[in-house]
Structure 1
């Protein structure tokens, strides 16, 4: 089954916990209700605190693939559907969505079959940036007008929550996709590109993931190279299925 448009939230713990609400609804959908023939109507799901997410469940089989969009992102970031229905889940996090996916994997390992990050935000980025760059980026994030009810990430709090969460389960299938067309956060003077790459390497090491760096893409890999993302998802799904059969 394919579940999409689960958006980033200001509090990481709240975001990870509230994943359980829409995912439970996806898992409970009968196969006859699943859609895999193009865009169908998504339904809003109340996750508390006056917030809602749009839930779109498609396909059948196991494990479920959960596509977690980046900050301000929506379902149009994902243009391909992986044929995957009930727990456990393969979590696919783009940009900020990678932080949410990683926290879910740490706090719900029994429900996690694998992780794919798509030029994902890394908890190691603060260490890789200079203090001036980090400070300027945090100020830039705080000054961003989210508009239209969108939420902005709280990076420092998110990093703390990840560090306080249980360790990732060993042997978890994972792929880290990293952009190779330089892009920049444009903060604090000097290029942030080397720091981004260093943080991606450390993320891949922490996840014990296959690290794909030849992506021919900028930050928006899901839009620029969707087939590459699909291949990574299928790889992780295949490993998860093989593990279930053992």
Structure 2
């Protein structure tokens, strides 16, 4: 009992990295740094471990400030490994090592829905005694988790940053826009058909992990309909470099227009939300332009601390 109390105290107070017991024989890997309120919670994309917020994949030997240490300079920030996530290892750094490192959290059967992930996050924050209120930051499919969390625990969430997040209607809109043959190919690619991926390697970035199941999409759609987001500071960052065509004949212009419209819709979930296009970024804005993500989080944190800093007319820059 004493060790559990000491661990919870360490997590809530100082720099911490390690497993946190959430009960039922499970632990989740957690990393926290910095001091201050609100606490920023980083929710990575479908496959990514917590490292994605602190490791520079593009320039490992460089000196860029990545998101987690950058945010730790002005408030408390935490990231964690969801079960089923992984870390891609650069073979140049370790030619004889593994290509991927698994999640540092207790494995659980897959697939899991957004609601399952929300339950895990809430159990983690409770067990680790991470003080609220929270600013939630979600990348890609992680945005489904942050949005559903804010719907289920609205009193705990005071701000949000969505980084090229997955809109709940994206697959429906793609289905409507694509000819049947193209949709069938795309749908096969998104469930990781290895033969198709070998033929169309560019489709890898379109692959959605089990998190983005029909159930997850439905959960977020229903939550938005029944529990609209409170008028909290919301910053939406989107990619400026188009997705690679997953296969020949892909109507990139049409699909990018659909994504743009859906991201605009996300930016209307709250009054005075900010929408910024990261012109030099692909889908992984937090890796391509981490300074933009840090600045967006700073804007939201500042707005939580002093609402007068959140101006409706400043939608063009963090």
TM-score under structure 1 length normalisation: 0.73
CA distance in 2, matches of 1:223, 1:177: 13
Cα offset, 1:52, TM superposition: 4.6
1:1-246 alignment runs, 5 A limit? 29=9, 33-35=13-15, 42-46=17-21, 52-78=27-53, 79-80=66-67, 81=69, 82=71, 83-85=74-76, 86-131=131-176, 132=180, 136-143=185-192, 152-165=210-223, 166-184=226-244, 186=246, 189-191=250-252, 192-208=255-271, 209-243=273-307
* Structure 1 contact 109–168 (Cα < 8 Å) conserved: no
SS at match of 1:101: helix
Unaligned runs of 5+ in 2: 54-65, 77-130, 195-208, 309-318
Alignment RMSD, CA only? Answer: 3.0
Query: Which one has the largest radius of gyration?
Result: 2
CA distance in 2, matches of 1:50, 1:190: 48
Unaligned runs of 5+ in 1: 1-24, 146-150
CA distance in 1, matches of 2:235, 2:50: 21
CA distance in 1, matches of 2:163, 2:173: 19
* Higher RCO, 1 vs 2 (CA within 8 Å, ≥6 residues apart): 1
Cα offset, 1:45, TM superposition: 3.3
Cα offset, 1:123, TM superposition: 0.9
* Structure 1 contact 93–120 (Cα < 8 Å) conserved: yes
1:128 and 1:225, CA in 2 relative to 1: closer, same or farther beyond 3 A?
same
Cα offset, 1:43, TM superposition: 1.3
The number of residue pairs the alignment matches comes to: 209
Cα offset, 1:241, TM superposition: 1.3
1:198-219 CA deviation, whole Å, 9 max, x = no partner? 2211111224420001432111
SS at match of 1:123: coil
CA distance in 2, matches of 1:237, 1:99: 21
